[in-house]
Amino acid sequence: MAIDYDKLINWKFDDVEQTYTTKDSILYALGVGLSMDPLDLQQLRFTYEEDMLALPTMAVVLAYPGFFLKNPEFGVDWVKVLHGEQGIKLHKPLPAEGTVIGKTKITEIIDKGAGKGALIYTTREVFEKSSGDLLATLDSTTFARGDGGFGGPTEGAPQPHSLPDRAPDSSVELPTLLQQALIYRLSGDFNPLHADPRIATSAGFKAPILHGLASLGVAGHAVLREACNYDPSKLKEFNLRFTSPVYPGETLVTELWNDGDVTSFRCRVKERDLVVLNNGYAKIG
């Protein structure tokens, strides 16, 4: 079954209203690996409810419309879907609790050709309900590995951010937990690829993989630590490309380049010496 381009590009998403509490913000922070050292007071500000802060990358789980590509009407081979790229623009710091409204739309679907997959581009705006303020704009690229050759547009994919041609200025090594995908999924992404070994092996993986957005959260932690001194209000934009899956329990090494208000970065898995997040761009203000 091929992607139904017209149905997918014209799909009207219902607005999603979500009320979240400090407990949800803490769960997200734990799901991306904060407070593995529970005595680190800077990290504790995100995992303890007293005067707590929200991680800026938590925007990716707010007012999420769910795993909509599993809808059989779209013709997507959902088992083979992977997260390709993610961009975050933060218009104001996220509150640690509140009610938000998410408005999602599909902006384009690029056909890479038979056997090469498809790219599905989605934008979600997250508004604070009480004030009406726009909190974050989220641009996501989904790589549908099994769905190329459906006859859609073949051009229009944006170019990724280029990393500086020099040695990194610093690096941050952060471990992940063996059970981290099972914790992270409680923030709203229940794709069984990240929990069920049977689904994972049928999709070609040796075990359930870590959510791409969970590894993004680890990279976000590294940038927050190195470039923002754990001040979430300083992170204005955060974009990256997912290049290879991460398995829970692996160690992520984030390499960073600092150029004024721009921090470039990439992440590699220490155990396999493999780049898993690339072309990272963070705007610091």
Residues taking part in catalysis = 189, 194, 209, 212
Torsion angle, alpha carbons of 47, 214, 128, 96, to 10:
0
Contacts of residue 58, Cβ cutoff 8 Å, sequence gap at least 6:
25, 28, 29, 94, 187
DSSP string computed for 131-146: T--EEEEEEEEEEETT
Contacts of residue 165, Cβ cutoff 8 Å, sequence gap at least 6:
none
